[in-house]
Amino acid sequence: MEPGILIACLALLATTLIFIFYIEPDASDSAPHRSQLDRLLERRDTIYENLRDLKFEHRSGKFSEADYEEMRAALEKETALVLAEIENVTGGVARPQRREVSPAAAQSLRGKSTS
């Protein structure tokens, strides 16, 4: 076997062993990368879905009026808390500001996409 190939194989082996045994993975590498805002938005959507389901089940006669009002009030209270927390996290901004694009730049972009 040629010495160059042997050296390349040994270097690859050494690099692989170092990577496997000496580099410790960061704990955040295995955790899902979701921000607090993502979790809050997901919770908000779940509550809205629960409210829709509750309304449907009430209309179908599954819940009495008193039970429906009690559960609806609890879900609306939870919604208000989640929405307040979303407002705290975003600083009161519902959506990030969009960058304004000059008319010349917009025309340039349109020209590139039709080409």
Taking only the tens place, the pLDDT of each residue in 23-73 is: 776 666 665 667 888 899 999 999 999 999 999 999 999 999 999 999 999
Give pLDDT, residue 115. Answer: 44
What H or E segment, with its residue span, contains residue 80? helix 65-90
At CB < 8 A and 24+ separation, what contacts does 14-22 make? none
* Cα dist from 68 to 32, 45, 61, 78, whole Å: 36, 20, 10, 15
- 107 — pLDDT class (breaks 50, 70, 90): low
Q: Which residues contact 65 (CB under 8 A, 6 or more apart)?
A: 58
